[in-house]
């Protein structure tokens, strides 16, 4: 973790391995992880099983939260 990123407490709500078929007869295993960070609704990320590790999970969650924080909701006046 880089020094500019604060530590966060993340709750893993669910972590399941599933099999998908992106091509006919080519199974691909991946983890579907539902997590929740403070002040955010639950989020879902997908990580290929061959790449899955605690470090990969942390990296994917940090990347997902960074993308979420860059997004700004639109405000309109009606």
Per-residue pLDDT of 13-68, as tens digits, reads: 999 999 999 999 999 999 999 999 998 999 999 999 999 999 999 999 999 999 99
Residue 57's CB is within 10 A of a number of other CB atoms, namely: 19
- β-bridge mates for residue 11, sequence order: 36
Edge to edge, what strands does the sheet with 43-48 contain? 10-23, 26-37, 43-48
> Has residue 1 got a pLDDT over 70?
no
**For residue 19, what is the DSSP state?**
E
| pTM above threshold 0.85 | no
Measure the CA–CA gap between 65 and 43, rounded to whole angstroms.
9
Query: Tokens representing 73?
Result: 């909701």
Rg (CA), the chain: 16
């Amino acid at each position: 973790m880089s020094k500019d990123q604060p530590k966060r407490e993340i709750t893993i709500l669910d972590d399941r391995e599933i099999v998908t078929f992106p091509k006919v007869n080519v199974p691909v295993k991946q983890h579907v992880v539902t997590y929740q960070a403070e002040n955010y609704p639950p989020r879902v990320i997908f990580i290929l099983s061959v790449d899955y590790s605690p470090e990969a999970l942390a990296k994917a969650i940090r990347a997902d939260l960074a993308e979420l924080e860059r997004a700004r909701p639109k405000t309109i006046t009606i």
